[in-house]
A and B are shown apart, each in its own frame.
Chain A
Amino acid sequence: MDSLVALNGIGVSLGGKQILRALDVKLQPGEILGVSGPNGSGKTTLVRLLATLLRPDKGSGVVLEAELGSNDIYRARRSIGLIGHTPALIDELSLRENLIHFARLGGPDAEQVDQVLSVVGLEDAGGRLTSASSFGMKRRIEVAYLLMTRPSLVLLDEATSGLDSAAQGLVAALLERTINLGGGALMVSHDADSLESVCGRLLRIHDGRLESTQ
């Protein structure tokens, strides 16, 4: 695989408003790419586009060898891990039940759940109801799920904001393992400083356009 991600002149509009404009992005295997920009600059739209959850209306793009907008994206999706800025867990289930639910749907062996819970430090809190759990605990469950699925492309949208250093360490471990397995990652944050220490390359976008590359 040459590039995990190759976007050429990509444009995305939502609700009649152009969010991304003529954006070129490449991500190679083994690379962690950072994307920063102010609120409303199109960072989350870029993440959702790379997660194949949005279709471009201009330009072309390939993610994990799947042309964006084609039916190949359904195959590629299973190799993409996304942690968005809001946890996607079911509040009425316990943390452990959430992990089992998503593992049963997604394919990884649900037998690994207890082992992974202990890796993310939730072996004693797994029975806690998600609605009564902290943001950091929910985040750890999302990291635990990605540790089980071993995605080739990890997308983190403000994923470390509000996390303590231990939880940030887990995200770092997830990134390291993804890189070691030949995958890549894209991290998005409005805070460029938080990306500099982790990312090999940094893009800055503003108003949906690439502003600078470091």
Chain B
Amino acid sequence: MTFWSQALEIARVDLAVERRLGDSLRIVTPFAIVALIVFPLALGAQLSLIAEIGPAVFWALGVLFGMQIALRRSANDTPHRRDLYALIGLDPAAKYVGRVISGGVLMLAFLIVLYVAMLVLYSPDLPGGATWIAMLTALLFGVGLTELGTMAGEVTSGLSNRSSLASLIVAPLALPLVIGASQTLEALDRDVSILPWILLLLATDLALAVAGVALARPIEESMR
């Protein structure tokens, strides 16, 4: 069994479990949309302000609710299953990559739904081509957040307060992702180059991928 076939098998089963449980798309996404509705209601009839803050609210909710999606996959592993995975020879790095693939797919679906809801509810004044740039940005942002969430989920596995602890780890470390993503749309709006911000997102994703793969086994072994 190669590294990639193990990673793809983990991703396949994660997505099959999600299809049956519907945790991410049927529970987290509706809550995120409800949160998206709350802001315009709180601001009242200030339509120009609502249109202006739309993208910022999108990225803020993207981090807060996206974190739940990123953490959910590793939360499904019981200690007994972790033991079994270790004994059957599953490479922890392949598990990490598989989790990032499945989490990335779910995260992208979540962000697309949230983005469309934001466009409908906030009617932001975005320049032409913003949707495609937003999709690219959401992809890079989603992959980075999933990498971070997967790593935090592994580090906190087996701890009684894991959900709050993992969120506390992810939120500050997601700062480069939030800055890169929000500034990409901001730069597009100001008609300046988006390249530095896209590169920031790419560099963050790459650094998290390298760290996740390199630390997967030490993290797993230290958690026993």
A interface residues, Cβ below 8 angstroms from B:
48, 51, 53-54, 74, 77-78, 80-82, 84, 86-90, 92-93, 97, 101-102, 104-107, 149
CA distance A175 to B87 in the complex (A): 18
Q: Does B31 contact A (CB under 8 A)?
A: no
Q: Contact: A77 with B20, CB < 8 Å?
A: no
Q: Contact: A101 with B21, CB < 8 Å?
A: no
B interface residues, Cβ below 8 angstroms from A:
1, 5-6, 9-10, 13, 16-17, 20-21, 76, 78, 80-81, 83-90, 224
CA distance A200 to B6 in the complex (A): 39
Q: Which residues of A contact B85 (CB under 8 A)?
A: 105
- Check A78/B89 contact, CB under 8 A, given A90-B17, A93-B17: yes
Nearest B residue to A81 by beta-carbon distance? Answer: B87
Q: Which residues of B contact A88 (CB under 8 A)?
A: 78, 80-81, 83-84
* B interface: dominant SS: helix
- Check A104/B87 contact, CB under 8 A, given A53-B224, A90-B13, A92-B20: no
A51 touches which one: B21, B81, B87, B90 (CB < 8 A)? B87
Nearest A residue to B13 by beta-carbon distance? Answer: A101
Q: Which residues of B contact A80 (CB under 8 A)?
A: 87
Q: Contact: B13 with A51, CB < 8 Å?
A: no
Nearest B residue to A149 by beta-carbon distance? Answer: B88
Given A82-B84, A149-B88, 12 other A-B residues pairs in contact with their CB atoms under 8 A? A48-B224, A54-B224, A78-B89, A88-B83, A92-B17, A93-B16, A102-B84, A104-B5, A105-B6, A105-B9, A106-B89, A107-B1
Q: Which residues of B contact A77 (CB under 8 A)?
A: 86-87, 89
Q: Contact: B78 with A106, CB < 8 Å?
A: no
For residue A13, give the distance in angstroms from its CB to the closest CB of chain B: 13
B83 touches which one: A48, A93, A97, A107 (CB < 8 A)? A48
Q: Which residues of A contact B13 (CB under 8 A)?
A: 90, 93, 97, 101
**Which 3 pairs between the two chains have the least Cβ-Cβ distance?**
A106-B88, A88-B80, A88-B84
Q: Which residues of A contact B90 (CB under 8 A)?
A: 105-106
Q: Contact: A82 with B89, CB < 8 Å?
A: no
CA distance A97 to B9 in the complex (A): 12
Q: Which residues of A contact B1 (CB under 8 A)?
A: 104-107
Q: Which residues of B contact A92 (CB under 8 A)?
A: 16-17, 20-21
CA distance A107 to B5 in the complex (A): 11
For residue B72, give the distance in angstroms from its CB to the closest CB of chain A: 12
